[in-house]
Amino acid sequence: MLRYLTAGESHGECLVATVEGMPAGLKVDVESIDRDMELRQQGYGRGARMKIEKDRVHFLSGLRSGVTIGSPIAIQIENKDNTIDRLPPVFEPRPGHADLSGALKYGHRDIRSVLERASARETAARVAVGSLAKCLLKEFGISVHAYVVMIGGIWAKMRAVSAQELARAIGHSLVRCPDRAVEKKIISAIDKAKAQGNTLGGAFEIRVTGAPVGLGSFVQWDRKLDGRLARALMSVQTVKAVEMGLGIRSSQSLGSESHDEIFWTKSRGFYRKTESAGGIEGGMSNGEDIVMRAYLKPIATLKRPLRSVDVRTKKPVKATYQRSDVCTVPAASVIGEAVVAFEMADALCEKIGGDSIHEMMRNYKGYLKQVHEF
Ligand SMILES: Cc1cc2nc3c(=O)[nH]c(=O)nc-3n(C[C@H](O)[C@H](O)[C@H](O)COP(=O)(O)O)c2cc1C
């Protein structure tokens, strides 16, 4: 079993993550992890904070000469804006943020003690962990790509392309959207929202390629792969809905339009020509690409704030405003990619087992042979 925990406040000394269960013998590509860290900081519509931070991972334990040894891995990411004890208190909770419920729950009169941890700065640690998981998946030919498909109601037109082409198209886009034709429209929508002191939500899609059949299981509710992926995505700040494959559209379609017919050839084995199920049936991967979407609300910190109540005086006030992003959908897609990569790596470890990459690979080849000879 792979598992992880993170710690750290937005303006504290640093963020840390501990990862347990990573097999021994994995060469960790620190450069690719740092690249993902940088991607999380980018994307048109992000605020000034991201110009201060230069996120880099520092491995404190679990590696020798850049290779995992099977022991817990500790990762540290420095906060350059380490000002937590100098920042002013906050008493005007923002509608849509963790502020009020967190203050009431933990008994904090100063809401800063809530927002410092509720902040999505925490996701820097999750991207580090997910990117590490991508190193493991890569050994088994599995890749995960997330890209923006909609911002502020402006939808991209998606066409079928290879994973490499997709990665290239996302890499060239300021908003991580493979459809260059809508990019300009999205950028001007973000500019417009910013000028109006407003914020914008959207949606990103995630495609996992190369996953074998049989990750996850139908035998118990908490082993279902779709449930695990949905939970991971839902845990990302601002994500308010998750869809697998056709998702909501399938609830409005006929059965004959909603399922992927099954074919077989000697070279390919069993396969589908469509991806309505999004690559998961009965809580298990079916060997096709896994496709899912996450939908995000617009962020809660508004330059033209909504109405709120001062937690000290109980008088009406405008919600607090502090330096903030306008649109975080591109950055959130990087986080979504990371949390999905981690769940896929966990499901892979669970399916094929092994304490080292060597052992896992031996088991993996045996399993693929078994499936091929079925
Ligand atoms: C990458 C990223 C950056 C974010 N930046 C901000 C921000 O600058 N200001 C803000 O109010 N919310 C921001 N959020 C959203 C809040 O963290 C989130 O809305 C809040 O923690 C409440 O959680 P919920 O939206 O899941 O209910 C960001 C979210 C993500 C994914």
Contact between 171 and 146 under an 8 Å Cβ cutoff? The reply is: no
Q: How far is the CA of 251 from the centre of ligand 1 (A)?
A: 30
Scored b (16 or more CB within 10 A) or e, 39-75 reads: bbbebbbbbebbeebebebebeebbeeeebbeeebeb
Neighbour tally for 164: CB within 10 Å: 10
For 57-70, write each residue's pLDDT tens digit: 999 999 999 999 99
pLDDT at position 163, please? Answer: 79
H-assigned helices in 151-304: 163-171, 180-195, 225-234, 248-251, 255-258
Q: How far is the CA of 289 from the centre of ligand 1 (A)?
A: 29
On the CB side of 264, how many CA atoms lie within 13 Å of its CA?
7
Q: Which atom of ligand 1 is nearest to the CA of 237?
A: 26
Q: How far is the CA of 187 from the centre of ligand 1 (A)?
A: 20
State the Rg of the chain over Cα: 22
How many helices, marked H, and strands, marked E, lie in the chain? 12, 17
Average pLDDT of the segment spanning 17-33: 98
Contact between 2 and 345 under an 8 Å Cβ cutoff? The reply is: yes
Q: How far is the CA of 90 from the centre of ligand 1 (A)?
A: 17
pLDDT at position 51, please? Answer: 73
Contact between 18 and 62 under an 8 Å Cβ cutoff? The reply is: no
Distances (CA, A) of 76 to 36, 79, 109, 233: 15, 10, 30, 23
Would you kindly state where each structural domain of the chain is located, as residue ranges? Answer: 3-372
Neighbour tally for 206: CB within 10 Å: 23
> What are phi and psi for residue 35, nearest 5 degrees?
-65, -45
Which of 236, 202, 196, 194 shows the shortest CA–CA distance to 326? 194
> Which one of 53, 94, 97 would you pick to mutate in the ligand 1 pocket, going by the greatest count of ligand atoms within 8 A of its CB?
97
For 219-275, write each residue's pLDDT tens digit: 999 999 999 999 999 999 999 999 999 999 999 999 999 999 999 999 999 999 999
Average pLDDT of the segment spanning 89-98: 97
> Which one of 94, 237, 302, 335 would you pick to mutate in the ligand 1 pocket, going by the greatest count of ligand atoms within 8 A of its CB?
237
- pLDDT bin (cut points 50, 70, 90) of residue 72 is very high
If one compares 12 and 170, the residue with the highest pLDDT of the two is 12
Report the share of the chain in percent with pLDDT over 90. Answer: 89
pLDDT at position 155, please? Answer: 96
Residue with tokens 């559209």: 249
Contact between 125 and 17 under an 8 Å Cβ cutoff? The reply is: yes
Amino acid found at 124: A
Neighbour tally for 188: CB within 10 Å: 12
Q: Domain 3-372, CATH 3.40.50.2300 — does that match?
A: no
Give the Cα separation of 280 and 322 in Å (integer). 42
Q: What is the 3-state secondary structure (H, E, C) of 261-303?
A: CEEEECCCEEEECCCCCCCEECCEECCCCEEEEEEECCCCCCC
For 165-216, write each residue's pLDDT tens digit: 888 888 889 999 998 889 999 999 999 999 999 999 999 999 999 999 999 9
CA 312 to chain centre: 36
pLDDT at position 119, please? Answer: 95
Q: For ligand 1, is residue 131 a contact (CB within 6 Å)?
A: no
Predicted TM-score of the model (pTM): 0.96
In the predicted model, is pLDDT for residue 297 greater than 80? yes
Report the share of the chain in percent with pLDDT over 70. Answer: 99
- pLDDT bin (cut points 50, 70, 90) of residue 29 is very high
- pLDDT bin (cut points 50, 70, 90) of residue 49 is low
pLDDT at position 162, please? Answer: 81
In the predicted model, is pLDDT for residue 314 greater than 80? yes
- Mean pLDDT rounded to a whole number for the chain: 95
Give the Cα separation of 293 and 229 in Å (integer). 11
Q: How far is the CA of 160 from the centre of ligand 1 (A)?
A: 31
pLDDT at position 180, please? Answer: 87
Residue 76 β-bridge partners: 16, 58
pLDDT at position 167, please? Answer: 85
Distances (CA, A) of 258 to 71, 114, 224, 251: 45, 43, 20, 9
- Give the CA angle between residues 312, 315, 316 to the nearest 5°: 125
Q: For ligand 1, is residue 47 a contact (CB within 6 Å)?
A: yes
